[in-house]
Structure 1
Amino acid sequence: MKRLLTLGLIAGLSVGLMSTSAFAALKEGDKAPVFNLEASLAGKPFNFSLAESLKKGPVVVYFYPSAYTGGCNIQAHTFSVNSEKFAAAGATVIGVSLDSIERLNDFSADPEYCAGKFAVGSDVGGKVARSFELNVREAAEGKVDSRGKAIEHGFAERTTFIITPDGKIAATIGGVTPAENVKAALEKVQQLVKAG
């Protein structure tokens, strides 16, 4: 019984910590920081501009720890299979991590993950993640990705921002599983279409 209570307490603390991570980030109603990043779409690098993308409609900016890692693979795949639903709602999706553009060229084209359906941006050093008030951890020695390649960059916390064309944050989503994160983002974007 004591062990079950301890496990329950640990699980409760974990959930509490996961849900508070999103509270450190910029919140609904805040002005989103404008940024430009080197990005990749279907393995081809280009310059992503948040300001230019907002001219077309809402933008889903999702920060994730690292390409080719468990939860990030699930999240990228889930965004990929739902890309037409986001497009139907007029939304642009961009994933942002501290990965190098070379790693992202592979990840963005990988048919198992991004599959060329949306862009991923390279925030080497974490400047953009920090501008959204996200926690950025330094690289940890000995970490390898799902391909067995060394991960030599830091990690931003997994948080998604829905940004409306006026540059305001309509929703901040964090503290949920990668698949739930995508589902919540899609629901919010679809609500914006209905309200608009």
Structure 2
Amino acid sequence: MKSSLFAAAALLSTAFAMPSFAALKEGDAVGNFKAQASLAGKSFDFSLADSLKKGPVVVYFYPSAYTGGCNVQAHTFAVNADQFAAAGATIIGVSLDSIARLNDFSKDPEYCAGKFPVASDADGKIAKSFELNVKDGAAGIKDTRGIEINHGFAERTTFVITPDGKVANVIGGLAPAANVEQALVAVKALSAKK
């Protein structure tokens, strides 16, 4: 089992470390998306347009709940959620996980801890609208709980979106915790411009 977990971690960390050259760029307009999301284990309908009315939105794509780097990234966002909120920003994580997996992940005190929502992009359409690579899942890969992952993976990339629906920052190619740190720097810079 440990070798299976190690193989999954290696695949997910290397396959999605670098951002796609085709990803949306700074200044690009982002289309609205709606998705089923989970906050603290409860499903709801998320709308990017509604969230942008409150301020900037950090949209972070990650390969899969309950995998090494994604666990670190979710935990780091949760620990820093108050700082994002103080800068006026909303956080939404997006993966190809089912809403059932995300209900567990969103309330897990070790990861999202009910501090921010995560959205299900089961068909990969949201990730593709951000021009991210979406890869098919590989048979036999298990998450850190030992449960088989039966979905595809979007590459780990974070977008900071301004209230007018434009990309302010694209963050990729960094370790999960550094990705969150850079997103926080970006939203604080936006807040300082007000």
Q: Same fold (TM over 0.5)?
A: yes
**Equivalents in 1 of 2:101, 2:17: separation in Å?**
27
Question: Which residue number in structure 1 is paired with residue 179 of structure 2?
Answer: 181
Question: Which residue number in structure 1 is paired with residue 120 of structure 2?
Answer: 122
Question: Which residue number in structure 2 is paired with residue 104 of structure 1?
Answer: 102
Q: CA deviation at 1:18?
A: 4.6
Contact persistence 1:18–1:174 (CA under 8 A): yes
Contact persistence 2:17–2:175 (CA under 8 A): no
Q: Quote the RMSD (CA, aligned, Å).
A: 1.2
What letter corresponds to residue 39 of structure 2 in structure 1? L
Q: CA deviation at 1:24?
A: 2.2
What is the total number of aligned residue pairs between the two structures?
180
Question: Which residue number in structure 1 is paired with residue 93 of structure 2?
Answer: 95
5+ long unaligned stretches in structure 2 = 1-13
**Equivalents in 2 of 1:47, 1:178: separation in Å?**
26
5+ long unaligned stretches in structure 1 = 1-14
Contact persistence 2:157–2:171 (CA under 8 A): yes
Q: Secondary structure at the match of 1:23?
A: coil
Contact persistence 2:35–2:47 (CA under 8 A): yes
The two structures have a TM-score, normalised by structure 2, of 0.91
> Which of 27, 30, 45 is the aligned partner of 2:28?
30
Q: Secondary structure at the match of 2:171?
A: strand
**Equivalents in 2 of 1:31, 1:74: separation in Å?**
29
> Which of 115, 133, 136 is the aligned partner of 1:138?
136
Question: Quick check: which has more Rg, 1 or 2?
Answer: 1
- State the identity %: 68
Question: Which residue number in structure 2 is paired with residue 84 of structure 1?
Answer: 82
Following TM superposition, the consecutive aligned residue runs of length 4 or more in structure 1 with deviations greater than 4 angstroms are: none
Spell out the pairing of 1:150-161 with structure 2 (5 A cutoff): 150-161=148-159
Q: CA deviation at 1:23?
A: 2.9
Contact persistence 1:110–1:116 (CA under 8 A): yes
**Equivalents in 1 of 2:31, 2:114: separation in Å?**
26
Question: Which residue number in structure 2 is paired with residue 60 of structure 1?
Answer: 58
**Equivalents in 2 of 1:18, 1:71: separation in Å?**
10
**Equivalents in 2 of 1:145, 1:58: separation in Å?**
32
What letter corresponds to residue 145 of structure 1 in structure 2? D
The two structures have a TM-score, normalised by structure 1, of 0.90
Contact persistence 1:22–1:175 (CA under 8 A): no
Contact persistence 2:39–2:115 (CA under 8 A): yes
